[in-house]
Amino acid sequence: MIKKKKQINYSGFTLLEMLVVLLIISVLILLFVPNLSKHKAGVDKKGNEAIVKIVETQIDLYVMEKNQTPTVEQLLKEEYITKEQYEKYQASEK
């Protein structure tokens, strides 16, 4: 008796196809990562500018309510601004 070999059909990707896909993904990552870091710097700058405007607005509010010009520490103490806003404002003033 002669035994017949069973023919097995694999459906999937070859190693070469997987390498090509990885190469394409790597190139795309190399193109987009520098752009993301540039955008992050721009967003941080705009965020700091917004914090400065918020603190200045709170100073105006304080003046309207109490007829005194406060320090930033007074605004923090009386909870016109948060601690995070205070720290970012101090960092942007330097």
pLDDT tens, 22-50? 999 999 999 888 887 788 888 888 998 99
Q: Under 8 Å CB-to-CB from 90, ≥6 apart: which residues?
A: 72
Q: Which residues span the domain enclosing 52? A: 43-94
Q: For the chain, how many structural domains are there in total? A: 1
- In a domain, residue 55? The reply is yes
Nearest residue to 88 via CA among 60, 38, 49: 49
- In a domain, residue 88? The reply is yes
CA distances from 93 to 3, 10, 52, 76, 89 (A): 86, 65, 9, 16, 6
- In a domain, residue 6? The reply is no
- In a domain, residue 24? The reply is no
- In a domain, residue 37? The reply is no
- In a domain, residue 52? The reply is yes
- In a domain, residue 26? The reply is no
Residue 90 to residue 64: CA distance in whole angstroms: 23
Residue 18 reports pLDDT greater than 90: yes
- In a domain, residue 8? The reply is no
pTM, full prediction = 0.59
pLDDT mean across residues, the chain: 88
